[in-house]
Amino acid sequence: MGQAHLVGANKPLREAIEGKHLFSFILWGPPGSGKTTLARIYANALEAEFYEISAVDAGKEDIKKILGERMDVEKRVRLGLAARSALFETFVREPKPKVLFIDEIHRFNKAQQDFLLPFVESGQLTVIGATTENPSFEIIPALLSRARVFVLNEHGEGEMQAIIERATRQLAGGKSKSKVPKAAQEWLIEYAAGDARQVIGILESTQNLYGKITVETLTEAVQSKHIRYDKKGEEHYNTISAFIKSMRASQPDAAIYYLARMIAAGEDPLFIARRMVIFASEDIGLAQPTALVVANAVFAACQTIGYPECQLSLAHGVAYLAQSKKDRSANDAIAEAMSDVQKFGNLPIPLNIRNAPTKLMKEIGYGKGYKKYDTESYLPEKLKGKKYLK
């Protein structure tokens, strides 16, 4: 269901499935978008030996078992690193390819991911990784370079309606007239936020518990709404980005909404407060210097009282920062100055403003001619007349 950009006519995954092209790839997308299903369809089309593991509780030993006992693993590693040898060709001519699906592959550490490399390289394993996190951050470059990345999208409203209809028919034993009331459909679609697996699971548990699907029975079956948010992953960075950009655009309502999402997900209040301190200098700066005082006070409040009360201080600070005038001149000035430092290195400091703690230094001109409140530029000779603060 869905993902037409990958499985529609002439699209990459459809071409791979229909052409039986064997290669490793990563499926990156939100929960319930069809990653596992696509992996199974692909392996089935290739008539492959299909293995599924979860990176949460699997490790090297599980992969060794899948590879079999034709040769010890160390020998396989050496063969995987070798050039095209006769034994290598023997491996790739196996009657059925081995396709290993690794759910939540981002949970594998570097050593575990390194372990996969020679088997992927030699063709002994075709690896399909599924992840909800940005592969650029979570998958080692060596493995990422050996696999294509396909991005899956959340299911749209129309797709979710079709999924609900299919699941309802299945639960009703294939009866086509079985329907979910419109209000219950809308509740489910909003609740699941594009997650097909969640919709199916809720429908099944509600049907089993109450025998009928209504807004009331769905609400009873689901005790608390789960907010998707991984503190080290993509949703984390998307939310904090939206939070900062809302304050920058002087949109306090949007900023407070994204603040609420982070609070509800259990984000560290000190992380939020630190970003507010940075924002006060970076985006407000000289337009309202008291913004830095307020941001630091919010940070101190979060340190002192913590959740849940510190959410009031966070909201207070966010409202103040979002509505403050903005001036990035200090931020731009230090960025340009840092660029010149990188470009020119340590340019000679004018003699008249150098420190002169010894007699010899004074004799060779250190500090000579220095005047308080001088109007002459103190910049190095090469940068005379340069204006950083504009």
Verify that 135 and 17 share a domain, yes or no. Answer: yes
Highest mean pLDDT among 163-167, 228-232, 276-280, 300-304: 276-280
As a whole number of angstroms, the distance between CA 283 and CA 316 comes to 18
Q: 227 is written with which tokens?
A: 């907010």
- 227 or 31: whose pLDDT is higher? 31
* CATH code for the domain of 301: 1.20.272.10
Bridging pattern class, strands 25-28 and 126-131: parallel
Cα 266–chain centre separation: 17
Verify that 318 and 376 share a domain, yes or no. Answer: no
Helices (H) and strands (E) in the chain, counts: 20, 5
As a whole number of angstroms, the distance between CA 339 and CA 336 comes to 5
Answer whether residue 72 shows pLDDT above 80: no
As a whole number of angstroms, the distance between CA 293 and CA 305 comes to 18
As a whole number of angstroms, the distance between CA 276 and CA 256 comes to 12
What is the pLDDT at residue 229? Answer: 62
- 229 or 164: whose pLDDT is higher? 164
Biggest CA–CA distance in the chain, Å, is 101
Cα 150–chain centre separation: 15
For residue 217, being part of any structural domain is answered with: yes
As a whole number of angstroms, the distance between CA 53 and CA 60 comes to 11
For residue 247, being part of any structural domain is answered with: yes
Answer whether residue 60 shows pLDDT above 70: yes
Verify that 136 and 65 share a domain, yes or no. Answer: yes
4-18 residue pLDDT tens: 999 999 999 999 999
Q: Cβ-count burial of 190 within 10 angstroms (0-12 exposed, 13-18 middle, 19+ buried)?
A: exposed
pLDDT-based confidence at residue 235 (cuts at 50, 70, 90): confident
Q: 304 is written with which tokens?
A: 């002192």
- Domain total in the chain: 4
Verify that 48 and 85 share a domain, yes or no. Answer: yes
As a whole number of angstroms, the distance between CA 23 and CA 164 comes to 33
Q: What does the pLDDT average to over 360-369?
A: 90
Choose one of 151, 175, 200: the last residue of a domain: 151
pLDDT-based confidence at residue 228 (cuts at 50, 70, 90): low
* CATH code for the domain of 104: 3.40.50.300
Contact 242, 258 (CB under 8 A): yes
Verify that 337 and 319 share a domain, yes or no. Answer: no
Angle, CA of 257, 258 and 263, to the nearest 5°:
95
Q: Which domain holds residue 69?
A: 4-151
Q: What does the pLDDT average to over 256-273?
A: 91
Verify that 146 and 14 share a domain, yes or no. Answer: yes
Q: Cβ-count burial of 228 within 10 angstroms (0-12 exposed, 13-18 middle, 19+ buried)?
A: middle
- 232 or 194: whose pLDDT is higher? 194
For residue 168, being part of any structural domain is answered with: yes
Q: How many C-beta atoms surround the C-beta of residue 354 within 10 A?
A: 15
DSSP string, 305-345: H-TTTHHHHHHHHHHHHHHS----HHHHHHHHHHHHHHHH-
Answer whether residue 93 shows pLDDT above 70: no
Verify that 137 and 42 share a domain, yes or no. Answer: yes
How far are the Cα atoms of 6, 17, 175, 199, 278 from residue 11, in angstroms, in the given order? 5, 10, 34, 27, 44
Answer whether residue 91 shows pLDDT above 50: no
Verify that 40 and 130 share a domain, yes or no. Answer: yes
Q: 276 is written with which tokens?
A: 């507010």
Verify that 197 and 335 share a domain, yes or no. Answer: no
Q: What does the pLDDT average to over 201-209?
A: 88
Highest mean pLDDT among 102-116, 172-186, 239-253: 239-253
Q: What does the pLDDT average to over 47-70?
A: 84
Cα 231–chain centre separation: 9
Angle, CA of 208, 214 and 219, to the nearest 5°:
80
Q: 120 is written with which tokens?
A: 């992927």
For residue 230, being part of any structural domain is answered with: no
* CATH code for the domain of 161: 1.10.8
Partner residues linked to 27 by β-bridges = 130, 150
